[in-house]
Amino acid sequence: MAHLDLANLRTCLLDDTQLAAVALHRTFAGHLPVSSGHLVVCDPLVQAEAPALADYTAPVGRHPVEIIVHSGRPALAVVWFKPRAILSASALHWQMARWTTQDLTGLEDDSFIGYPVDAGIGCFMDTDTQQALLALIEQANGDEDSAWSDALIDHDGLDEGAEYRPWGEDSPHGLVVFTSGWGDGVYPSYWALDTSGIPVALVTDFLCIQSGDGRDEREIADQTYRDSLPPEEAEALARLVAAVERNDTDVLRDLLKDAPQRANQIEPGCGGTALFEAIRLDLPQALRVLLQGGALPAMPERLHMSKVTGYLDYARFLKKPRSAELMAVLEAPVVAEPTASAQPRRSFWDRLFRRR
């Protein structure tokens, strides 16, 4: 099947809160004037003569363009032909955009058709605007240092998308331009079609994210862990870390009484364990209570760093040496608690005749 990251495309329909939950946000790039209905997607600095997309046309008018931003760069660019608020993701069908010379049926698995970027910029424009742009280029006689290209390269806000109107604000022509994700490459575009097969949007995916999520694997794992904690346990872990910070050994004992494993559980708020915090803050008394006379447990893998895979490693790694008292707690051998000796078992005859 040809490349289609449906979750990526559907991020265009998420609200701002839903986008923030996956480390994305939306910006308004401007309005795209459409007069012919035939749209061009290209790098305008190196392929302004690119042919118009086949199969569908856009309605005449001025259409809003939005950018879905990830880590300061466009992840997706979308031009809307119908208001986003009235659209439902489940009701849309997506089709890869192509040119008349290309056949989608011949694509291999996970391959795609896209436009090449060599100057780090992408755009949406109507073919009428394209003709006006080609006339500007013709006037420049191919001069790479021409005023129109310099103005485009130096245009403010390209990382969040912007209108580019070198013909003046009163002109019917205009492009919406944006940086192409993380740089040069080849990027696919997709038509969003309603149940009648009419295009409601055109989206370019700059392949910065996968499965509609801007978070990395570690961030996703952290969120999964936070979601797995019952609210009362999350609260108990927060109180435990707060007690460490206050060096409140009485509260520590109380919180560990029925759940000693809490000492080595990650508290989402600080991102570390109570043991980790006691070492970081150099609090030997708190550390002693957290260990409860036992051996140092294995440090959660989430806290591992270069050359630091255990709590003793961490204490030695810190720039400021830990106190001798804290290091003694960490390095002390585990001594088994003395147990009461078992009473000798009385013989049958002793028990029968109640002899001592």
Residue among 180, 147, 157, 166 at smallest CA distance from 74: 180
**The predicted structure's pLDDT at residue 52:** 96
End-to-end CA gap in the chain: 86
Please tell me the predicted confidence (pLDDT) of residue 110.
79
Q: Please give the DSSP secondary-structure letter assigned to residue 24.
A: -
Which pLDDT score, from 0 to 100, does residue 343 have? 55
CA distances to 31, 98, 238 from 115, in Å = 22, 9, 50
**pLDDT score, position 341:** 47
C-beta neighbour count of 279 within 10 angstroms: 27
Q: Per the confidence metrics, is the pTM higher than 0.85?
A: no
Contact 285, 293 (CB under 8 A): no
* pLDDT (0 to 100) of residue 256: 96
| Res 348: pLDDT | 45
Q: How far apart are CA 142 and CA 46, in angstroms?
A: 11
- What does the pLDDT read at residue 336? 43
Encoded amino acid at 321, one letter: P
Distance between CA atoms of residues 31 and 276, nearest Å: 52
Concatenating the DSSP letter of every residue in 116-149 gives EESSSEEEEEEHHHHHHHHHHHHHTTT-TT-HHH
Would you give per-residue pLDDT tens digits along the chain (356 residues)?
567 899 999 999 999 999 999 999 999 999 999 999 999 999 999 999 999 999 999 999 999 999 999 999 999 999 999 999 999 999 999 999 999 888 888 788 778 999 999 999 999 999 999 999 999 888 877 555 567 777 777 777 788 999 999 888 889 999 999 999 988 999 999 999 999 999 999 999 999 999 999 998 888 888 899 999 999 999 999 999 999 999 999 999 999 999 999 999 999 999 999 999 999 999 999 999 999 989 999 999 999 998 899 999 999 999 999 999 999 999 986 544 444 444 555 554 454 455 54
Phi and psi dihedrals of 199, rounded to 5? Answer: -65, 130
